[in-house]
Amino acid sequence: MPGIDITRLAQEKGAPVIILVEPQMAENIGTAARAMANFALSRLRLVAPRDGWPNGRAYPSASGANRILDEAELFPTFEAAIDDLNLVFAATARAHDQVKPVVGPKAAVTAMRPRIAAGEQVGVVFGRERNGLLAGEVALAHSILTYPVNPDFSSLNLAQAVLVLGYEWFSQTHEGNLPFEMVERSEPASMAQTRAFFEMVERELDRVEFYRPLEKRDSMVTNLRNIIMRMSPSRQDLATLHGAIFAIAEGAKGSARSGTLDVERAGTLRTLLAKAAADKSGGQAPVRGLARLLRRNPIEAERILWDQMMKDRRFAGRGFKRAIPIGPHVADIVSFDLRLVVDFDPPGEDAAAEGARAVKRAWLTERGYRVVVMKADEVERDCAGPLDLLQQAIEAEI
């Protein structure tokens, strides 16, 4: 990775030296260097590589850990490679029958960390691919390092052996911190939104006679609610589920009038959508899906105004459409030709819904749309005045 110093963490916190004794293939040296770079080990020593050193065949296998290869130290003998070390671990899968402490990777790293922090030189020696370390080489180590593996198949390749140690080293040195966490895309759902979702789901399940036998309805409702609550859903989660379940319910009923919502529930759906749209972290797919539901479930004021607009020649050919998504929002009525949006102001909205609607109008205005605000209750009482207001807005632009 160009421009990134893969040895930075090793220099800041220190690290054990990795010593490969008579490695047979340059490719194995490269993969071992890659494993070292993954876990902030940077000092590599090579004892008499069979094919000589430096060797260009190691670099492709290192996958970018070139600096470790460039700075690798070459030694003619095992003894020369460990002469300046204060603590040596011999990595081996064989017992060697030597009276010497035997530790796993966790204990080994726990022992070497304070020594390295105190400025001592610590090394871990890995043997030849074919037959590992010799008994005399193990005898010069302070401890034997071995891994808890399947005793019937205990052989690891060189890079794997280095990687296991590196993983334990990095986990302890950096407290096991993961490089990234789940991104929180939306705020947790409010209880009001959650209750509205429950009411919708339970209503639809009642319609299809899901609760059988009926005497078990209460316990089934409780179980379903607990499933959702264990999820700790976000606002966007509930908006998406709301839209998906509505779409399924509508699909089952077809386009008949019985598939629409009553006025109160249509208003509730718009409130939920307005709050979801104000959350700038959400995606667009749920908004498009809910726009289709809004188109089929207009509030009474929208239905009245739209019916009258379709009969009024003043608005013919102006390109008006109903319940159309624009970015993260849904316009009640919009003409893209005129860059004009009609937005209804329902009575009795809570503060959150009013704030969300204000965000929507500001967002549209910033992008060149003129927003005509209409009081829903005024439209329901007498549509003539709102129609004249809309015509005035059109003429003002022309």
- Tens-digit pLDDT profile for the chain (398 aa)? 455 788 888 887 889 999 999 999 999 999 999 999 999 999 999 999 999 999 999 999 999 999 999 999 999 999 999 999 999 999 998 877 888 999 999 999 999 999 999 999 999 999 999 889 999 999 999 999 999 999 888 888 999 999 999 999 999 998 767 767 766 667 888 898 899 889 888 888 887 778 888 788 899 999 999 999 998 888 888 888 888 887 777 664 443 344 455 555 666 666 666 655 555 444 444 556 666 666 666 778 888 998 898 888 888 888 898 888 888 788 889 998 899 999 998 887 778 778 888 888 999 999 999 999 999 899 999 999 999 999 999 888 65
What is the per-residue pLDDT for 252? 47
What is the per-residue pLDDT for 272? 63
Provide the token pair at 345.
């102001």
CA quadruple 252, 257, 259, 265: dihedral, nearest 10: 180
DSSP 169-193: HHHHHTTT--S------SPBPPHHH
- Residue 223, number of CB atoms within 10 A of its CB: 10
Q: How far lies 57's CA from each of 27, 38, 82, 237, in Å?
A: 6, 20, 26, 51
What is the per-residue pLDDT for 200? 86
Strands of the sheet with 370-375, listed across from one edge? 320-326, 329-335, 340-345, 370-375
What is the per-residue pLDDT for 65? 93
What is the per-residue pLDDT for 47? 97
What is the per-residue pLDDT for 281? 45
% helix, strand, coil for the chain, step of 5:
50, 15, 35
Contacts of 118 (CB under 8 A, 6+ apart): none
Task: Please work out, in degrees rounded to the nearest 5, the angle formed at the alpha carbon of residue 210 by the alpha carbons of 206 and 213.
Answer: 105
Say how far apart CA 252 and CA 191 lie, in whole Å.
29
Record the pTM: 0.53
What is the per-residue pLDDT for 83? 97
Give me the residue spans of the domains in the chain.
Answer: 8-173, 191-397
What is the per-residue pLDDT for 183? 67
What is the per-residue pLDDT for 284? 47
Task: Please work out, in degrees rounded to the nearest 5, the angle formed at the alpha carbon of residue 152 by the alpha carbons of 147 and 153.
Answer: 60
What is the per-residue pLDDT for 226? 96
What is the per-residue pLDDT for 283? 45
Residues 342 and 333 sit within 8 Å (Cβ to Cβ)? yes
Q: What is the CATH number of domain 8-173?
A: 3.40.1280.10
